[in-house]
Amino acid sequence: MKIVILHSGGLDSTLAFYIAKEWGAEIFPLYVYNKFLALKHKPDVSDLKIIDVTKEFIDIVRSPQYGYGKNLNPCIDCRILMLKKAKEYMEKIKADFIITGEVLDQRPMSQRREQLMHIDKQAGLEGFVVRPLSGGLLPETVPQKECLINRNDLLSIKGRSRKITLDLAQKMKIEQFASPSGGCLLTDPGFCRRLADLMRHQDRVAVRDIELLKIGRHFRLSPEIKLVVGRNEEENESIEKMIKHDEILVYVPDTGSPNAMLLGNKKQSVKIAASITARYSDKKTDKSIEVCYKDNKGIKKVRVKAATNEELAKWRL
């Protein structure tokens, strides 16, 4: 028996993985990844197959067929896409079915009984998705009908409480799993404000745009111009690495200063970008601050006053 498991590295999918191992199945873990996931580390499991669906998912985020959750999280469309990729992998390796770590009613939008069944159907997997943690409460699946698995081996967990799953992990001596706080950035209001602004001002959103949304302070200076200001050394390094030849790097020399990236039609906004960057430097109280800005033609300098709190509030996303 061959099984594909959608494995995120979290508690629920880790439990599903170990339950399936007890069935004596040959397990093929699959991580369907996109850049909106906040998890920094992929599941630590051998023979992991990774599929990056960021480009497809960006289009879904812009216009989800089944709408958004509380923020910009298109949970139902996301699950359908993940299961479609799992189906392709299942067919490629000739696996018998797919398992997930989903728990009935754990999430209000995508894990209600009727929604789970709808998602399976839309992914072309009706009857071929087994959910070991809640399978005892769900309709009989094809693997059960064909006696590949026993319904008595499926649990009947329901709801948002994690006490049962944590107790089960302790019983099964499972100690390594990702924190649920990692999650999806599309449920974070601050990230979603930036993303909504980006989609309002750009017809096309690229993978790099999503990476930029994850770092720094963001300021919308005009419909065509945005500034990203680093908050720490790691973000400063990221900005320096990610900047393109037609973009401008802004910083205050000879002092503690963030790196800032100026994007768009930039000439008219260099002084504003410089004043914002100066505001977050160690020279922010100086009356006149020298700021460097570097483009593909070299380094130039401009003198500015640090932006006021009122000005920052006007531009900040």
Q: Which tens digits make up the pLDDT trace of 189-198?
A: 999 999 999 9
10 Å CB burial of residue 127 (0-12, 13-18, 19+) is: middle
Length of the chain in terms of residues written: 317
Write down all domains in the chain, each with its CATH number in brackets. Answer: 2-183 (3.40.50.620), 215-315 (no CATH)
What lies within 8 Å, CB to CB, of 113 at 6+ separation is 104, 105, 137, 138
Q: What is the largest CA-CA distance in the chain?
A: 78
Spatial contact of 261 and 295, defined as CB atoms under 8 Å apart: no
Q: Is the pLDDT score of 180 beyond 90? A: no
Q: Which of the four pLDDT bands, split at 50, 70 and 90, describes residue 268? A: confident
Count other C-beta atoms under 10 Å from residue 63's C-beta.
9
Of residues 108 and 59, the one with the higher pLDDT is 59
3-state secondary structure of 272: helix
Nearest to 50 by CA among 67, 28, 74, 32: 32
Structure tokens belonging to residue 283: 């020279």
Q: Is the pLDDT score of 304 beyond 60? A: yes
Structure tokens belonging to residue 28: 């093929």
Structure tokens belonging to residue 110: 């995508």
- What confidence score (pLDDT) does residue 181 get? 47
What number is the average pLDDT over the span 257-270?
A: 89
User: Which of 105-114, 125-134, 150-159, 190-199 shows the lowest per-residue confidence on average (mean pLDDT)?
Assistant: 105-114
Q: Is the pLDDT score of 302 beyond 80? A: yes
What number is the average pLDDT over the span 283-292?
A: 97
What number is the average pLDDT over the span 294-308?
A: 94
Spatial contact of 184 and 38, defined as CB atoms under 8 Å apart: yes
What number is the average pLDDT over the span 277-288?
A: 97
Spatial contact of 167 and 155, defined as CB atoms under 8 Å apart: no
3-state secondary structure of 57: helix
Distance CA 129, CA 96 (A): 10
What number is the average pLDDT over the span 149-158?
A: 96
Spatial contact of 43 and 29, defined as CB atoms under 8 Å apart: yes
Structure tokens belonging to residue 31: 């991580």
What number is the average pLDDT over the span 32-60?
A: 90
Q: Is the pLDDT score of 41 beyond 80? A: no
Element containing residue 4 per DSSP (H, E): strand 2-6
What number is the average pLDDT over the span 204-221?
A: 96
What lies within 8 Å, CB to CB, of 195 at 6+ separation is 61, 72, 186, 210, 213
**Cα torsion angle, 140, 142, 143, 144, sign:** positive
Q: Sort strands 289-295 and 298-304 into parallel, antiparallel or unpaired.
A: antiparallel
pLDDT tens string 224-249: 999 999 999 999 999 999 999 889 99
User: ∠ CA(155), CA(158), CA(37), 5° rounding?
Assistant: 100
- What confidence score (pLDDT) does residue 174 get? 87
Model-level pTM greater than 0.85? yes
Mean pLDDT, the chain, whole residue set? 94
Of residues 264 and 41, the one with the higher pLDDT is 264
